[in-house]
Structures are given as C-alpha cells and as structure tokens.
Amino acid sequence: MSDNDQKHRCEAITKAGTRCKRPAQAGGRYCYAHRAWEAEEMDSRTNETVVEVSEQESVAEAEPGIMASSNGQAATSELPIGEQVRVELERAAEAQQAEPEEKRALQPASSSQLIEAVEHLLENASPAVREKVLARVQELVDSGWLDRQTWEGIAMVAQVALEMQIDFLKRRFTGDYYVDKWGYDAEVAEYMALALGLIFKYYWRVDIEGVENIPNFGRALLVSNHSGVLPLDGAMIAYGVREFHPAHRLVRALVANWFPTLPFFSMILNKTGQVLAHPDNGRRLLAEDELVLVFPEGYKGVSKLFKDRYRLARFGRGGFVKLALEARAPIIPISVVGAEETYPMLADAKPIARMLGFPFFPITPTWPWLGPLGLIPLPTKWFIDIGEPIETSAYDDEMITNPAFVSELSDLVRQRIQEQIDRRLAQRESVFLG
C-alpha cells in the first residue's frame, strides 16, 4: 500500500486493536462510520467536555462495546438502511474477532444455533438493522438450504450415484453384465429411458391412452401406423407402455433392416430390446409371450410426403396377421398422431437415395439445408391411442392359409387404426399445442 493510501485511510482504531480499513471522508481524518469521533475531539478541546469525555471513557473501559454501540448508532442512523446493515455487520465482525476464543459465537451447526449466532453478533446493532438481518436469515432457514441435514442428504445421494456410475463402468469394462439372447441390456435400457422420458414428457408432451387394453402378461401383437422419417414413434410407444402400463411391460419392435445401419441407432435399438423385422423373429418372440410391435406400412409409412399425412399406406400382404393367427395372439391397433409433422417431408430425392443405398432421401424445410441442425425434429404435440384387442384365438389353422381371410383381417386392423387417427385429428386443435 502506498503512503498516499495510508494517509487517506480512517484513523480510527477498532476494538480489535487494528486501524479501520475504510477510506477517510474528504477533508477529514475519519470514515463515515467513525465521523462522530471528530466531533468528540473538537469537544475535548474545551474544559467543559473534558470531564464528560473522560467519564464516557471510564464507562467504556468498564463495559467494552457500549461506547462503540452508542456512537455507531448515532453515526449510522442517518445512513440508508442498506448501508446501516453493512456497517453494523462489519462492526459485529470486528467485535467478534476481538473477543476471546471461548466467548466467540458458536459455529452454526443447526438452524436454531445459526439464529442464535446472528443474534449474538448483532446484540449491539440498532433495532432496525437487527430486525432486517434476522428476517432475512429466517427466510433462508425456512427455505431449508441452510439446514446441515439437507446438505448431508444431498451429499449422500450424490456419493451413492457416483458409486453406481463407477460400478457400472467397471462392469462394462470387465464384461460383468447380462444381456438376453436378443441383445436386450436392462441397464442400458434404464439409462435410455431417462432420455426418452424427457422427450416423451417435455418435448413432444405425449398423451397416451388405452394402455389397459394391453394384457398384463402373455403374448400380443401391437400394430401401429408409421411416420416421421426416423423410427421415433416406435421408441415413444415402447416408453409409454413401459412407463404407464400397470405391469410396465417391455415392447419389442420389429425394425426394418435399414434403420440399424444408421450411426448410433444399431446399438441403441439392440440394447433396448428391438429386433430385426423377420417372420421367424416375430414367431419366436410371440412364442416367448412377448409384446411385439410391428409397422405394416414399412418404409412407405416413414417416407410419406407431407401432403399424404395421416392417410395409411397399404399394409403389405398381411404377414403380421399370419403371425398373430399362428401364435393365437391378440392384435392390438395403435395410432400415433403428431409424428407426421416432426419432419414435414416435401419430396423424396430418389436419385440421391439410390446413390447412397437408402430406401428414400427426405427433403424437408430444414434438411439438408441446415446440415445436422436439420435432423432436429419439430416439437409437435403427440397422441398415442391404443385400441381394443382383436382376438384371434377362435380361428383355426385353415384360416392362416386362406388369403382372402388374411386380407380381410388385415383390412379390419387398418380400418381400426385409420378410425382412431381420424377421431384424434377431429379433436386436435393445434399441431404444436394439441
């Protein structure tokens, strides 16, 4: 510190025995908090005030803090309340440091001790300052954030979470984890459910109805419309059933061969229980009493132009009906509304698709013009409606080989899904608000 700075510091000596650190007022020797001291010095030059000052000093020696308190209140009472609070707190801190170690305020180990400590620090403060500070401390105490047990609980939860993450990584590196014969990894599925849950609840704000139509146990074939360029509708259906069904059942979707070739999609689809679309895989899953999700529209559904949205494409040759009939599994129609607008497909660039080996190449308002940003789906409002089951257990084996019956049953399922879509569209008022 320079000599010039030293000269302009307040010349008052605090009760701790150190010089005040605040700057002196212009033209004076003391700061605004100790400016009363100058008046005392002027009075002490007269014989009339010598006795009075000496008496005050005697009282101050007998009871430390009284003089400072009276002078401080006189000096700070003229300041704004905010300045009074700051001055009083500084003065209380100086007084606390000057006290012997055994007399200092207790360290606040609880909310009540914290209030006691603050009251002790402000016992010589003015009533206005004391009331304002204690009210603020009480607000903090009531919020719970100053409670030691709250922070101990947070620390314990954080420690347990960290230990779980470390244990997860250790087992991944050592191979000490389990996947079923289809590649389903329950731990990875749990982590993916966290991310899917945020999208489901807060981005697309999905409303799902009719989960009670899915049996609590046993096989069933879920049949849904397909849309949205990427197979995100399957992920939302699977998450909705897992989260809101009473039995929290796992849905295994049969995905087209091209989607697992996309970066990142292959690992995620496999680890979360999805299986390549093949009749044999469908038969085996239904034989194991699984919930199997199929999209009979196939690529025609996800590559649908925006002008054709919510008009179901042809359901192939009824292969899904044969699966259900063979396994005596109920067929449950599902409709998804909202996915068609996530990637409004204006055109299909077939030459580019053939060059890249893609089944289609979408042209949307954002893709490919914005590059990777064009892959971000729009935050539309989604609705998933699960219809009543269509029982197949009453049909005999001859029906499976009857093309006319298979086609008729396929058309019935398609009609049910289209009716659910039309009903939901009639109720919907806004693409983004529902």
Q: What sign has the CA pseudo-torsion 111, 114, 119, 125?
A: negative
What CATH architecture applies to the domain 186-342+377-427? 3-Layer(aba) Sandwich (3.40)
User: Which residues make beta-bridge pairs with 332?
Assistant: 222
The answer to whether 225 and 419 are in contact (CB under 8 A) is no
327 contacts 219 by C-beta, under 8 angstroms: yes
Query: Closest Cα partner for 278 from 252, 302, 304?
Result: 252
At residue 51, what is the residue type? V
Q: Give yes or no for a contact between 286 and 215, defined as CB atoms under 8 angstroms apart.
A: no
Model pTM? 0.65
Taking each continuous run of H as one helix and of E as one strand, the counts in the chain are 17, 9
> Are 338 and 427 contacting, i.e. CB atoms less than 8 angstroms apart?
no
| Closest among 245, 196, 200, 238 to 381, alpha carbons compared | 200
Question: Residue 308 has which token pair?
Answer: 């054709």
pLDDT of residue 63: 46
Using an 8 Å Cβ cutoff, are 200 and 339 in contact? Answer: no
pLDDT per residue rounded down to tens, the chain (434 residues): 555 555 577 877 776 677 777 777 767 777 766 666 666 666 555 544 444 544 554 444 444 443 444 444 445 556 666 666 667 667 766 665 665 555 444 444 556 666 777 777 777 777 777 788 778 777 777 776 666 677 777 788 888 878 888 888 888 888 888 888 898 998 889 989 999 999 999 999 999 999 999 999 999 999 999 998 888 999 999 999 999 999 999 999 998 887 767 766 777 888 888 898 999 999 999 999 999 999 999 888 899 999 999 999 888 788 999 999 999 999 999 999 999 999 999 999 999 999 988 889 999 999 999 999 998 999 999 999 999 999 998 888 888 889 999 999 999 999 999 999 999 999 999 999 98
Report how far residue 197's alpha carbon sits from residue 409's, in angstroms, rounded to the nearest whole number: 35
Residue 69 to residue 121: CA distance in whole angstroms: 12
pLDDT for 251-308, tens place per residue?
999 988 877 677 667 778 888 888 989 999 999 999 999 999 999 998 888 999 999 9
Reading the block at residue 282, the tokens are 């469908």
Domain ranges in the chain? Answer: 1-78, 186-342+377-427
Maximum CA extent, the chain: 127
State the Rg of the chain over Cα: 38
pLDDT at residue 376, as a whole number: 93
> What pLDDT sits at residue 100?
58
Count Cβ atoms within 10 A of the Cβ of residue 11 and give its class: 0-12 exposed, 13-18 middle, 19 or more buried. middle
Residue type, 28: G
Residues whose CB falls within 8 Å of the CB of residue 210, separated by 6 or more in sequence, listed in order: 385, 386, 387, 388
Give which of 380, 276, 286 is closest to 326, Cα–Cα: 286
What local confidence, expressed as pLDDT, does residue 208 receive? 97
Nearest to 322 by CA among 391, 388, 225, 407: 407
Residue 121 corresponds to which tokens in the numbers above? 């620090």
Query: What distance in Å separates the CA atoms of residue 79 and residue 61, rounded to the nearest whole number?
Result: 28
Q: In the prediction, which pLDDT does 367 show?
A: 92
* Cβ 269 vs Cβ 259: under 8 Å: yes
